[in-house]
Structure 1
Amino acid sequence: MTAQLPPIPPQFKSLQHHLRTAQEHDKRDQVVAYYCRLYAMQNGMKIDSKSPECRKFLSKLMDQLEIQKKELGDCDSITQEIVGSAHVENYALKMFLYADNEDRAGRFHKNMIKSFYTASLLLDALTVFGELSEENIQHRKYARWKATYIHNCLKNGETPESGPVGFEGEDYNEDDDGTSASTEAPERSSFTYKPGNMPASNYTGIHIPPGAHAPANTPAEVPHSSGGMRLTPEDFAQAQKYCKYAGSALQYEDVNTAVENLQKALKLLTASRE
């Protein structure tokens, strides 16, 4: 990444952590880095595109995006929205799962806090493709709350409680350190994150991505098993490929190829149930 950004204007303070996450992922996952910058660009334009300092900053950010887009070339995750969206979502949920597993095992540390918080930032970035699903809205809110809660407990010398105990849509503010700080009088939200809806039950076995801040002795992957079904990492990768091919076919209105690949993915994922 050759284009350097000028100091971030105060108006864009809310975007500083997304840009920092982009920088951290330049060597880990350029696709993730690209969409974090694109999110910052789109939201920066909404915040202030007229003042001289903001225009200068956005211009440099646009240069970064153009350079990175050229570096990525014909990468499917850049040229096809459906592939890019799946890439960012999978990466965010992998980081979420790592942090959630650490939390439920009672292992509270800075890396898991950062993974929770970074997952929430990546779910922010996912909005460049459209509105988040209700499930991902809850994941994002829970991840930010959990990062806040554990950060404050450790700072105050307290032992955090694992899982969603005490979470009923706490409010938070972002501080300058990249973690979130609770408000003194949090408001009630419109939903409660119930233990039975925890993402771990939906995403068991998602691989921890490079750079997810997992300690060296953390297993890189955990096989998925549920109700007698056991899928290998290779099975998941192949199923993702079939879905990607189906998405590509739909872009060219090739329904037969799309259906064929979706059927292959479905057969792979359900074969061991039969």
Structure 2
Amino acid sequence: MSVSNPPSVRDIPPPLKGMIPYLNAAVQFEKKDIVISYYCRVYAANIGIKSKTQGDPKANSVLLSLMSHLEAFKKANSAQHEGLSNEVIAESKVEAQAVSLFSAADKLDRSGTANQNVVKMFFTAAKLFEVLTYFKEDVSDYVRSMYKYAAWKATYIRSCLAKGEVPVPGPATVEGSEEEHEFNELLKQLDGETPPTGQAAIPQNTQMPSVGPPTGSSFGGQFPSGTNPTAAPRQNLPQQTSQDEQPSSSTDNANAKSGAELEQASKFCKFAQSSLMFNDVDTAVNYLEQALAILKS
């Protein structure tokens, strides 16, 4: 099946500029993982659909072209890439890649490395964390914390580089309306759109999220810059149960807990695999140790 090329970033008109970061991410992952690339474009399409494009022929044409591409691309590649038709698999892939990028960028940042590559890694990680809201709007506190930290770090390091200053490695505190205004302006440049009125793009007292499930929320609001589309319902895999099998309520609870633990261990293994793609052995070992700890407990 012939699949037309998706719209180029150069073709995006002003009313759809909010799509640009996700279309750029899609291009970045085209040769690495087409499932991640596909859902970056799906998320961009969702943003475009919610944009005010009435009466703009160029914007409507670009949206129709993108949606036609996505439909044809999915039909042509679903047989070889299950994640295109199974959103549970796709969500896991996107989350693993986001965490891997985040971990690699944080490792470089803490070592004192501050350059445009680190900015790009943090920024792309933040965009992938946003893409996760396509699968379910109510993402975990852990994901929200990493999203906010990655978005802040990208703007903070870029600001320091622009001013010829040396960024402070690791977590830091951003205080004062002047700094918030400056970072909001930077986020416009990175994101291609303006944060909503009255909503700070950069959190105050920004803290680095711990590796592992959080104990509480450190996220005080919705995703900034208008990137909070209605989440698509997550597809649940059917569970087959024998008609003769009637477990007790205590058995159900035990199985549910075991299933949750296995799912978390599986995620850590996938995070480790993604880390190895970036030659980050230490991070991969850390994730594998966490997976083993869950399985041995």
Fold-level similarity (TM above 0.5): yes
Structure 1 counterpart of 2:161, one-letter code: L
Q: Secondary structure at the match of 1:172?
A: helix
Matched with 1:248 is: none
> Is 2:55 aligned against 1:53?
no
- Report the CA distance between 1:62 and its aligned residue: 0.8
Instruction: Determine the structure 1 residue equivalent to 2:39.
Output: 35
Q: How does 1:1-274 map to 2 (within 5 A)?
A: 2-5=4-7, 7-51=11-55, 52-74=57-79, 75-131=81-137, 132-167=139-174, 172-173=184-185, 174-176=187-189, 187=200, 192-195=205-208, 197-199=209-211, 206=272, 207-208=274-275, 210=277, 218-219=279-280, 222-225=283-286, 230=289, 270-272=294-296
Shift in Å at residue 198 of structure 1?
3.4
Q: Classify the secondary structure of the residue corresponding to 2:275.
A: coil
Structure 1 position 194, deviation (Å): 3.1
User: Which structure exhibits the higher relative contact order, with contacts defined as CA atoms closer than 8 Å and separated by 6 or more residues?
Assistant: 2
Taking structure 1 as reference, are residues 70 and 55 closer, same or farther at Cα in structure 2, changes over 3 Å only? Answer: same
> Deviations for 1:172-209, whole angstroms, at most 9, x for unmatched residues?
34344669999xx99497874434x3348987973436
Number of residues paired by the alignment?
227
Q: CA deviation at 1:71?
A: 3.6
d(CA) in 2 for partners of 1:201, 1:38 = 28
Equivalent AA in structure 1 for residue 124 of structure 2: T
| Residues 121-154 of structure 1 deviation map (CA, whole Å, 9 limit, x = unaligned) | 1111111112122322221111111001101111
Give yes or no for contact 2:45–2:67 (8 Å, CA) kept in 1. Answer: yes
Q: Which runs of 5+ in 2 are unaligned?
A: 215-267
In the alignment, is the contact (CA less than 8 A) between 2:95 and 2:129 conserved in 1?
Answer: yes
- Distance in 2, Cα, partners of 1:201 & 1:107: 27
- Contact 2:172-2:205 at 8 Å conserved across structures: no
1:41-65 deviations in Å (ceiling 9; x for gaps)? 1111111353322210111101221
SS at match of 1:141: helix
Q: CA–CA distance in 1 between the matches of 2:116 and 2:48? A: 29
Of 164-173 and 102-111, more deviation after overlay is shown by 164-173
Q: TM-score, normalised by structure 1?
A: 0.70
CA RMSD of superposed structures (Å)? 3.5
8 Å CA contact 2:42, 2:70 repeated in 1: yes
Provide closer, same or farther for how the CA distance between residues 124 and 165 of structure 1 changes in structure 2, counting only shifts above 3 A. same
Q: Secondary structure at the match of 1:91?
A: helix
Q: Which amino acid counterpart does residue 24 of structure 2 have in structure 1?
A: R
Displacement of 1:114? 0.3
Residues 186, 109 of structure 1: alpha-carbon distance in 2 compared, 3 angstrom cutoff: farther
Moved more, 166-175 or 94-103: 166-175
Percent identity among equivalent residues? Answer: 29
Structure 2: how far apart are the matches of 1:187 and 1:83?
Answer: 33
Residue segments in structure 1 that go unaligned for 5+ positions in a row: 237-267
